[in-house]
Amino acid sequence: EEKTRCSYEQKLKNAQHSVSKKLLEVALAKQSNLIASADVTTTHELLELAEKVGPHIIALKTHIDIISDFEYEKTIVPLKALAAKHQFLLMEDRKFADIGNTQELQFTSGVFRITDWADFVTSQVIGGFESLDCFNNVGVVAIIGMSSKGTLTTNEYREEALKIALSHPNVIGGVSQNQLPDEILLFTPGVNLADSGDGKGQQYNTPEHVFKNLHTDFIIVGRGIYKASNAEEAAIIYKNEGWKAYVNSLEK
């Protein structure tokens, strides 16, 4: 007999970290579990996308280092204003993967100053428990398993990565293509309604699949939204499909 999944209300009641609480509150308020991945390469495209999809998402995921005309004042200041206006969080998908001291420098310095604006960041846990200590003012989503073909995140790796994630107070969740324990939020990229892959190793599943089989909490959608002819319409479709799939997964 399969147990039913943990609801957002239950997860909110047990949430320890302010960022987990905020994500779950926004999800319930907007009836959305959608994170849009803004893999665009100019400030204009980034802000335009954020304005269009903002009302329908709980977070906007960035790869801030692909923005070719990045300027803190021109890129981040208006992005933060849009996040406040439309009530979504900023998730920087930096996937830190170094020793603690270097990660701290990458997080706080350079032109991006991620520490000053991101609500939460992704990090590999390959550097061990203490490498995550520097993220003490944001939430960390640990990379447990990747969506790409041939990834080295085997069963054994995922088990060890999960031990670090579950024991570190900065960690709010994990990125994975496998179910995770209820104490941690599950973020699942590799979601697309039209395609099964991209010819570059990415592997896609549907919202229905990831909620039903992985009990995921939040879906991450990139090209399904920002490449659509109407990004707002696409965001609404993924938002509704994601919410329907979540509600159905509660009833199993």
Helix (H, G, I), strand (E, B) or coil at 22: helix
Active site residue 182: no
Distance CA 13, CA 17 (A): 11
Q: Minimum Å distance from CB 9 to ligand 5FU?
A: 27
Q: Is 217 a catalytic residue?
A: no
Tell me which of 20, 32, 33, 37 binds ligand 5FU, using CB under 6 A: 37
- What would the x/- binding string for ligand 5FU be over residues 107 to 136, using CB under 6 A? ------------------------------
The catalytically annotated residue of 65, 74, 98, 212 is: 98
CB 140 within 8 Å of CB 175: no
Rounded CA separation 171/148 (Å): 23
202 is in an annotated binding site: yes
Pairing of strands 59-62, 218-221: unpaired
Determine, following the binding rule CB under 6 A, whether residue 143 of this chain makes contact with ligand 5FU: yes
Write out the DSSP string of 116-134. Answer: GT-SEEEE-STT-GGGGTT
CB contact burial 122-134 (16+ within 10 A = b; e otherwise): bbbbbbeeebbeb
Binding residue for ligand 5FU, selected from 54, 173, 174, 190, defined by CB under 6 A: 190
Chosen residue from 19, 36, 220, 234 binding ligand 5FU by CB under 6 A: 220
The residue annotated as part of the active site, out of 52, 93, 119, 217, is 93
Minimum distance from residue 170 beta carbon to ligand 5FU (Å): 18
CA distance 11 to 33: 13
Residue 93 catalytic? yes
Asked whether the beta carbons of 166 and 11 are under 8 A apart, the reply is no
Position among 33, 123, 124, 202 found at the interface with ligand 5FU (CB under 6 A): 202
Query: Annotation-wise, does 106 bind a ligand?
Result: no
Which residues make up the interface to ligand 5FU (CB under 6 A)?
37, 39, 63, 93, 143, 146-147, 175, 189-190, 192, 202, 220-224
